[in-house]
């Protein structure tokens, strides 16, 4: 892959229209980012990427993404110091329930509900399974929506959402 194409993935900013499925990819390893972007594109998502925590945090504050893909070691952080995970843990629950958080890393096992819960995300994917991201994500998002859509509707009916 040429350097130019590789850099394109670092700065991808699709234009969003109302009703688009949107994703933010917070992965700073070029090959993993490229695979994630390709898989999300095949699922019909419009994508933003970023290499710096400040840029990503600004994007998270300005747009409610449907899917957020987070690298375990983004900008040389750890799971406990990852600024994106910390930010997402502090957003209001009404907003959080409408976003699907996916953690990609070498220390997690794909589709482990316990690891996802422990890291306050909806899905974890091992680096070895990133090429299969499309299939894992499609199934997990459907499962997540099947749970949250009726829950959010009930909250709205009760006037609490």
pLDDT tens, 39-95?
999 999 999 998 889 999 999 999 999 999 999 999 899 999 999 999 998 998 888
Give strand pairing partners of 113: none
Question: By three-state DSSP, how is residue 102 classified?
Answer: strand
- What is the distance between the alpha carbons of residues 62 and 50, in angstroms, rounded to a whole number? 14
Main-chain phi, psi angles of 105, to 5 degrees: -170, 170
Output DSSP code: residue 73: T
- What is the distance between the alpha carbons of residues 3 and 36, in angstroms, rounded to a whole number? 18
Question: By three-state DSSP, how is residue 14 classified?
Answer: coil
Q: What is the CATH number of domain 3-157?
A: 3.40.50.2300
Output DSSP code: residue 51: S
- What is the distance between the alpha carbons of residues 152 and 70, in angstroms, rounded to a whole number? 24
Inform me whether the pLDDT recorded for 1 exceeds 60.
no
Inform me whether the pLDDT recorded for 97 exceeds 90.
no
pLDDT tens, 134-150?
999 999 999 998 988 88
Q: Are 123 and 111 in contact (CB under 8 A)?
A: yes
Tokens standing for residue 89: 């843990």
- Which pLDDT belongs to residue 10? 62
- What is the distance between the alpha carbons of residues 35 and 142, in angstroms, rounded to a whole number? 21
pLDDT band at 6 (very low <50, low <70, confident <90, very high): very low
- What is the distance between the alpha carbons of residues 2 and 7, in angstroms, rounded to a whole number? 9
Contact residues for 3 (Cβ-Cβ < 8 A; gap 6+): none
């Amino acid at each position: 892959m040429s350097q130019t194409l590789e850099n394109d993935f670092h700065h991808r900013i699709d234009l969003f229209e109302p009703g688009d499925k949107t994703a933010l990819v917070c992965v700073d390893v070029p090959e993993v980012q490229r695979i994630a972007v390709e898989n999300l594109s095949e699922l019909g998502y419009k994508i933003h990427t970023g290499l710096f925590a400040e840029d990503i945090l600004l994007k998270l504050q300005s747009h409610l993404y449907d899917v957020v893909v987070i690298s375990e070691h983004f900008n040389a952080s750890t799971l406990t110091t990852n600024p994106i995970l910390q930010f997402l843990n502090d957003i209001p629950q009404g907003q959080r329930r409408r976003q699907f958080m996916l953690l990609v890393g070498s220390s997690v096992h794909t589709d482990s509900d316990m690891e996802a819960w422990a890291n306050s995300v909806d899905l974890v994917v091992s680096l070895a399974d990133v090429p299969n991201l499309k299939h894992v994500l499609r199934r997990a998002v459907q499962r997540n929506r099947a749970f949250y859509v009726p829950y959010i509707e009930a909250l709205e009916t009760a006037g609490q959402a």
